[in-house]
Amino acid sequence: MKLIFDHIDFTIVGHLQSLLEAEGIKTEIRNLNASSAAGDVPFTQVYPELWVLHNSDEARAKEIVKTYRDQEAATPVGPDWTCPVCKERVEGVFSECWNCGAAAPN
């Protein structure tokens, strides 16, 4: 297994996981509950981590992450929005709800 990406914000890790899975890359997220456990582990900052199960997918996975990060950097970030379907809070960088896949309202 290879660690591809980690970020303090689970929604971004989860979004990248869905991008990789859509490309047929098997992934796993670790430290999913890191934020709630952080108070108990004062000396270790643990972020949610995105891993690929097969080392042979590492290069392709990193390319997908890089493409995503480049697009994110190039796109003006809109305000956060609330999903009209499941009421999840979604960051402005996303045009779809990370939780249920609904499109952002306009």
How many residues sit in the footprint of Zn ion (CB under 5 A)? 8
**Are 6 and 49 a contacting pair, CB within 8 Å?**
yes
Half-sphere exposure of 37 (CA within 13 A, CB side): 12
Query: Of 70, 68, 88, nearest to 80 (Cα)?
Result: 88
Contact range with Zn ion by CB under 5 A, out of 12-20, 38-46, 63-71, 88-96:
88-96
Query: 36-75 mask for Zn ion (x: CB under 5 A)?
Result: ----------------------------------------
Under rule CB under 5 A, residue 83 binds Zn ion: yes
**Tokens 């456990």 found at:** 37
- Which residues in this chain contact Zn ion in the complex, by CB under 5 A? 83, 85-86, 88, 97, 99-100, 102
